[in-house]
Amino acid sequence: MAPSANLQPSGPQQRPLFALMVRLGAAICLATMFMLIKLGDQRGIDLPQMLFIRQFATVPVLLGWLLLCGRITDMRSDRIGSHAARAITGSVGMVLNFLAPILLPLAVATTLGFTAPIFAVVLSYFVLRDHVGPWRWTATALGFAGIVIVADPFAASVPLLGAAVGIGGAFMVALISLQIRDLTRTENSIAIVTWFAIFASPFLFVASLFTSWDLSAVDWTILICLGISGIAAQMLLTTSLRLGSVASVIIMDYSMLLWATFYGWAVFDAWPPFTLWLGAPLVILAGTIIVWRERVLAKENASRTMA
């Protein structure tokens, strides 16, 4: 799955409990979107069509939102090249994260998506040369152990191609998070998301022209609901970060595993493999430790700055 831009909680009063409920809504919307991707594929809707609808629907909604709020000037940028580069990596990440639920059981694809913070730690060490202490290295080791258990490469209960795609999608999310981290120094968060959609939509439209748009009413309903759920998830993710901190709301992201399991049973009559329930707790624990530790380090850095 692609990541939400981190909107700093300045302005609105912090409402931690409400932020948790908003983040839960975002998790449900994301799980619903991935279910619709899998359902659309089974009905013969092509991947470029789903990608295009998901991205194109974002443009009028977010531009309209900025106009209504009198903030259209937030779209001004001196870093168009950086937005274009983010659109390229973001598009690759979207392709992988849309393919994952197609190739894997929904719960497995969701769990592999939880590994993005683990890859973020590795990338921050090797790319940004950030100091990574024993807490985060231990969490990273736990997370990779969980990945091996979930992917189950020896018994092959999970398609290896699907596992590779799911892990690749999580890696791209981590890579994109570094780009967003850099962009948010000078750019508005909603503008980052909107520029991504503006750059990606034309290319996805061209790709969709090589597919047949002769779709049934049910297929169009799936595509429209996919676009709506994706936009709703983006808006709810952003809102949750305005009302609460990342560390306080991210726990709700892991509820996606429950919704994905439910959709897998209710819509596709499928249950995830047993290895998922052995590996998923390790992946979730690793992500929780990483977020907690980064919160502690942020507080320590803030204290040093104020001293």
Give the pLDDT confidence of 237-288 residue by residue, as tens digits: 878 877 877 767 888 899 999 999 999 999 999 999 999 999 999 999 999 9
Residue where the block lists tokens 């919704």: 259
pLDDT-derived band of residue 7, with 50, 70 and 90 as boundaries?
Answer: very low
- Residues 6+ positions from 303 with CB-CB distance below 8 Å: none
**299 against 230, higher pLDDT:** 230
| pLDDT value at 110 more than 50 | yes
Q: What is the pLDDT of residue 12?
A: 54
For 70, phi and psi rounded to 5 degrees? 65, 30
Q: What integer best gives the mean pLDDT of the chain? A: 90
- Percentage of the chain with pLDDT > 90? 67
Q: Is 81 exposed, middle or buried (0-12, 13-18, 19+ CB in 10 A)?
A: exposed
What the block records as the tokens of 272 is 């995830």
Residue where the block lists tokens 């439209």: 205
Distance CA 60, CA 72 (A): 12
Q: How many other CB atoms are there within 10 angstroms of residue 294's CB atom?
A: 18
| pLDDT value at 83 more than 90 | yes
Distance CA 216, CA 224 (A): 12
